[in-house]
Copies of this chain bind each other. A is one copy, B any other.
């Protein structure tokens, strides 16, 4: 039986989502628990995509197959009783055998949070502590330049070599609440570091260090060096994954 889970996690104590040797990862914690539930037959999970070290998820999705028979409700309870308390399964669904949590993605939604107010130690792992004012009107204008279909090569990890860097951002949003700026990006797919590199440029625009018109040139350069710094991981959340 194939299951799809919706789960949230605090990424601050993990070395990212994807399993690696000798470091703590979200994937490994979930697979460890599922293997026990599956009568010690090993289970591999396929997520909608990885999240990098320190990045959080509000609604990550992953599918996997189990040999045992277990209802969705019982599986949810069993997983949550064994998972560390910074990973939580919100929903378990039974899905068709050919459902794939990554290949079937229609859209993904990310949010990025920046504290423009005073440094707050309580939120240091959850909101980027920028702690200075940014020109929000400029950022609101600039973020629109990222909507639509573009070649995002300048906004991905420099060592990310692939044939196609074209992605479509279908919606963006900027919201301010109590000095915390939240930027939203909904798109068909995201390259590695893409959101954090876009946010890096938007911060430079908000600082007045980069002109809005310059964004077009960054796209055209097809070169990571043209964009700004990668914004820190702790402000980034995978908020939702939508399927076809």
A86's contact among B9, B86, B87, B121, by CB below 8 Å, is which? B121
B56 touches A122 (CB 8 A): yes
The chain B residue with its CB closest to the CB of A80 is B119
- Number of copies of chain A assembled together: 2
A121's contact among B88, B120, B121, B124, by CB below 8 Å, is which? B88
List 8 contacting pairs A-B, 8 Å CB cutoff, sorted by A. A8-B122, A9-B121, A9-B122, A10-B122, A80-B119, A86-B121, A90-B118, A122-B126
A124 touches B10 (CB 8 A): yes
In the complex, whether A40 has a CB less than 8 A from a CB of chain B is no
In the complex, whether A164 has a CB less than 8 A from a CB of chain B is no
The chain B residue with its CB closest to the CB of A11 is B122
Could you mark each residue 115-138 of chain A with 1 if its beta carbon is under 8 Å from any beta carbon of chain B, else 0? 000111110101000000000000
The chain B residue with its CB closest to the CB of A89 is B119
In the complex, whether A69 has a CB less than 8 A from a CB of chain B is no
Closest CB of chain B to A83's CB: distance in Å?
A: 9
Closest CB of chain B to A51's CB: distance in Å?
A: 13
In the complex, whether A85 has a CB less than 8 A from a CB of chain B is yes
Closest CB of chain B to A123's CB: distance in Å?
A: 8
Chain B residues within an 8 Å CB radius of A58: 122
Could you mark each residue 199-227 of chain A with 1 if its beta carbon is under 8 Å from any beta carbon of chain B, else 0? 00000000000000000000000000000
